[in-house]
Structure 1
Amino acid sequence: MTDWAGKKVLMIGAARQGIALSRYLANKGTKVILNDRRSDEELTAAREELEGLDISWVTGDHPIEILDGVDMVCLSGGIPLNLPLVQAAVQRNIPLSNDSQIFLEAAPCPVIGITGSSGKTTTTALVGEIAKQHFAFKKTDNQVWVGGNIGNPLIQEIDLMKEDDIAVIELSSFQLEIMTVSPNIAAVLNLTPNHLDRHGSMS
């Protein structure tokens, strides 16, 4: 989905990714519902970051009724797919997405994706630095955008990107669970038995 005006999106999780995506969608004319099980008091800083935007907050629980009329459900990286609210969305055939999926759908420039069990952050930073040195050698004003699971959601910078720039994004296994769009170039570094409490098995 790229035409967000007038759509209704439920964002589950008000961590860094959820805040960045909620801001992006609200600025595109989307009616955003931001849901987090934490209390209003615990979410004071997050609410201040999004003050003035057309965002409705539902806190303290994950009530199923907030799915009514929703066009899409977006998940922060730490939200498990077995959460009853997410399962209810799947049963209603409501599409699931996240900040990285939406970034890849809308990115105006080539994107290099890095994933794997370990070494993602180091490799993402290294590839980004190589790309920066390439542009410096060519003496161009193109920019390299480095982010994703590395700590900087690239969706918050997408409107500044140009088609001749390069984006390098770190992708976690949690994000990839629901993603259906691939980067232009992707590297899978290694696979080891990590996060089996989330994924269940290596398969």
Structure 2
Amino acid sequence: MNIDDNKKDILKEVANIGAGNAATAFSGMIGQKIDMSVPEVELINIQELPAITGDEEDYIACIMINFKGEISGKILLVIDMETVERMLKLIFGTDDLPDKDMQNSALNELGNILSGAYLKAINDFTALDLDQSVPAMAYDMAGAVLSSSVIDYSQTEDYIILLETEFVADQEKLELFYFFIPEKESLDILFARLVGGSIA
């Protein structure tokens, strides 16, 4: 599947609206101003997923969320461990972090906020009325976490949407990767709604 400039522009507009929603919610979570943007939107082959975030042997945090409705699939939020630590310090407002259970709970809540913000933007543009599941968290090497042991490749399209997301807090820029992984035929439905809908 090719992604032409029109589709990419629409996806980027939707993504930036989602980032704005996420920034507002995240700002409320930590009690300070957050700016978020989506500098890169790409349609990539799913086989590239394990290597897309960098070295496959680097440890990462991965938050996985299922979504369903008129289309279905998975959302993956991938964050390198250095960024995870900086984000947790922002969330808890201290360098002295609590135990792992509380850290995981905070990251799952952040995953809920980010995925919900992007899904709301997609819903607003497409009226697909998508719902999301409770997040699941994993820490491991990128190649292991993003392998077929996590994603059932047989149930997905050949392509996934990558939204490379940046946010800035207190003049510090942090980056994460947001992967929208539709099940078969869902990507075609999504693009049909986006391109065919009324895009203001």
Q: Which category of TM-score, normalised to the shorter sequence, fits these structures?
A: under 0.3
Q: When you count strand as a share of all residues, which structure comes out higher?
A: 2
Normalising by structure 2, what TM-score? 0.23
Q: When you count helix as a share of all residues, which structure comes out higher?
A: 2
If asked which structure has higher relative contact order (CA below 8 Å, sep 6+), I would say 2
Choose 1 or 2 for highest CA Rg.
1
Normalising by structure 1, what TM-score? 0.23
